[in-house]
Amino acid sequence: GDSVTQMEGPVTLSEEAFLTINCTYTATGYPSLFWYVQYPGEGLQLLLKATKADDKGSNKGFEATYRKETTSFHLEKGSVQVSDSAVYFCALSDPNAGGTSYGKLTFGQGTILTVHP
Amino acid sequence: DGGITQSPKYLFRKEGQNVTLSCEQNLNHDAMYWYRQDPGQGLRLIYYSQIVNDFQKGDIAEGYSVSREKKESFPLTVTSAQKNPTAFYLCASSMDSAYEQYFGPGTRLTVT
């Protein structure tokens, strides 16, 4: 079945450092890929998405490129801020899946990011 | 403002009691979902519904039940049969199952 593997955390950075959170996936079809962010005590917010190979999703300075050849969707940001401290989830949805898997989001385990001033 | 609301934010129950968690959306989305989040385990799908009056079991449906009588509402009941009900519960919705999901703020359930 589909699966998502994320870089293990926690990740601790100083403000203005470069961020990379690795995400690789396994899917039988051609999935859509997502990054969600969760701030303490809150629900998940969609950060960015990509629906086909070589698409780049971007939002709030974060970027991720859908790489089919390496089955990856790594999250990057050039200069992190203290306010970026949160848990980041990589997820996939296979719109071509049938039966009970249709539309299902498969999540990675999440990566905790802490940014210090 | 369009969005998803979950209530209450915190819920406390005694073991052996059923409890119902509310989820309402005014986004006019067809599909709705319930997830459970435990520390270090990411999110796991409990139930989902693609249209009114229809729903499907997710990966961990045992001990839970749902209904979808109205498009905007998808309540989740945690029954006494659920062995480890203490968790953070998240509701989500999407335009249909092929689109990205949007999440509510969550309900933290504690059962003692």
Judged by a CB distance cut-off of 8 A, whether residue B96 touches chain A is: yes
**A53-88 confidence digits (pLDDT tens):** 999 999 999 999 999 999 999 999 999 999 999 999
Identify the bridge partners of residue A106 per DSSP, sorted by sequence position: A92
Number of H helices, E strands in chain A: 0, 12
- Does the pLDDT of residue B106 top 60, yes or no? yes
Contact state of A103 with B57 under an 8 Å Cβ cutoff: no
Confidence of residue A102 (pLDDT cuts 50, 70, 90): low
DSSP 3-state percent helix, strand, coil across chain A (nearest 5): 5, 50, 45
Which of A76-80, B7-11, B93-97 is predicted most confidently? A76-80
Pair A35, A48: CB distance under 8 Å: yes
Mean pLDDT of chain B: 92
Distance in angstroms (rounded) separating the CA atoms of residues B16 and B19: 10
- Quote the distance between the C-alpha of residue B27 and its chain's center: 16
- Does the pLDDT of residue B1 top 70, yes or no? no
Pair A88, A39: CB distance under 8 Å: no
- Tokens linked to B96: 């249909």
Contact state of A107 with B33 under an 8 Å Cβ cutoff: no
How confident is the model at residue A28, as a pLDDT? 80
Distance in angstroms (rounded) separating the CA atoms of residues B3 and B109: 22
Confidence of residue A38 (pLDDT cuts 50, 70, 90): very high
Confidence of residue B41 (pLDDT cuts 50, 70, 90): confident
Name the minimum distance, in Å, from the CA of B25 to any CA of chain A.
14
How many Cα atoms sit within 13 Å of B82 on the Cβ side?
A: 27
How confident is the model at residue B96, as a pLDDT? 73
Enumerate chain A positions whose Cβ falls within 8 A of a Cβ in B: 32, 34, 36, 41-46, 49, 89, 93, 95, 100, 102-105, 107-110
Residues within 8 A of A (CB atoms), B 41-80 only: 41-43, 45, 48, 50, 56-58
How confident is the model at residue B42, as a pLDDT? 82
Strands B87-94 and B76-78: unpaired
Residue B97 or B25, more confident: B25
- Does the pLDDT of residue A116 top 70, yes or no? yes
- Does the pLDDT of residue B104 top 80, yes or no? yes
* DSSP structural state of residue A51: -
Nearest Cβ partner for A110 among B42, B57, B58: B42
Distance in angstroms (rounded) separating the CA atoms of residues B102 and B10: 20
How confident is the model at residue A97, as a pLDDT? 60
- Does the pLDDT of residue A96 top 70, yes or no? no
How confident is the model at residue A41, as a pLDDT? 85
Average pLDDT over residues A17-21: 97
Using the structure block, give the residue that is written with the tokens 């998940």: A44
Contact state of A102 with B100 under an 8 Å Cβ cutoff: no
Mean pLDDT of chain A: 91
Identify the bridge partners of residue B75 per DSSP, sorted by sequence position: none
**B53-75 confidence digits (pLDDT tens):** 999 999 899 999 999 999 999 99
